[in-house]
Structure 1
Amino acid sequence: MNTRDVQVRMCEIAVSTREDARILRATLGSCVGIGLLWRARGACGLAHCLLPQPVGKARSTQAERQGQDAKYVVDALPALISLMGAQGAPEGEIEAVLAGGANMMHHRTTIHEPIGELNVRMAQQLLTHARVRVIHTDVGGECGRQLTIDCGQQNYAVRRFSRPG
């Protein structure tokens, strides 16, 4: 990797522009990666979300509410849009790519649905509510993925990989 490559780790958000030409990457299992491309302005961003929303007594931290953390999908999407300066973007101009949300455990619990499915569902609901057009979805199943957003070229790629053994 070179200095243009940015590894977006769990609970992180990264943004870039066509001029910065950074390549944003997230390696995902049950986490969901939300990539946004605003081609008209040459801006893009990537959020690597661990959970759909705070549960029970858990609350978003000050850092999460100020857009510096992507632990929860409900906090990450608005923060990503804000960091890209896209709050007033015309409807349909921002495009989204979703990846991840896999079921990385072989067993299902009776307590709740697999967390990957919950993450994807929350991301899809929020994107619909924000009127962001989803142009590509590669989610679910039992394989991991790497979501790459090339800000210089204003494109994306999703690579699948299987769990060893």
Structure 2
Amino acid sequence: MIGEDVHVKMCEVRSGSAPQVLRSTLGSCVGIGLLWRERDLCALAHCLLPESAVRAEQLSAKYVTDAIPSLLRLIGAEPSHYHQLEAVIAGGAYMMHHLRPALYGMIGELNTRMAQRLLAEAGIRVVHTDIGGTSGRQLSIHCETRQYVVRTFERIN
């Protein structure tokens, strides 16, 4: 099956429909995909940081705390629908060698923890995670079949 590639760039949130394939290439950033099989909808966010002190007014994925509400708004999901949604999380790798420990922790780990926490609080079932470690990933969501694929690639030092 070959679809139309839609590259979801850093800090972007996008929805798609058949025959599109939403793709995001991730290192310490986290990709959050939502699949709504009953409505043939899917969406993907590419998040840079875990949280912002100020909530975004428009659709945004710079922060995980903005991305999840943006994804839900983009596909038109209300709280009564959340039990129908499935989520996929990928990325959050440790991509940089630091001479000393990062002041606030590893950004990739913070990103993935925030995504998992917010999805759990909303009652959205996470069906797959491929997170952490030192490998980059590419998350692809095939909108026609609402299937996802996570491909791993090694960091080059």
- TMscore range, shorter length: over 0.9
Matches within 5 A, 1:39-118: 39-54=37-52, 59-60=54-55, 64-67=56-59, 69-107=60-98, 109-118=101-110
Amino acid at match of 1:9: K
1:63-87 residue CA offsets vs partner (Å, 9 max, x unmatched): x4211x2100000100101100112
Q: Percent identity?
A: 54
Answer yes or no: is the 8 Å Cα contact 2:3–2:21 preserved in 1. Answer: no
Give 5+ residue unaligned stretches, structure 2: none
SS at match of 1:126: helix
Higher helix share: 2
Q: Distance in 2 between matches of 1:124 and 1:163?
A: 25
For normalisation by structure 2, the TM-score amounts to: 0.92
Match of 2:9 in 1: 9
Segments of 5+ residues of structure 1 without an aligned counterpart are none
Instruction: Pick closer, same or farther for the CA change 1:41–1:99 going to 2, 3 Å.
Output: same
Instruction: Tell me if the contact between 1:65 and 1:75 (Cα under 8 Å) persists in the aligned partners.
Output: no
- From the superposition, tell whether residues 89 and 150 of structure 1 become closer, same or farther in structure 2 (CA, over 3 Å): farther
CA RMSD in angstroms, aligned pairs only: 1.7
Q: Secondary structure at the match of 2:117?
A: helix
Q: 2:27 aligns with which of 26, 29, 32?
A: 29
Tell me the TM-score normalised to structure 1 length: 0.88
Q: How many equivalent pairs are there?
A: 155
Residue 91 of structure 1 and its aligned partner are, at CA, apart by 4.2
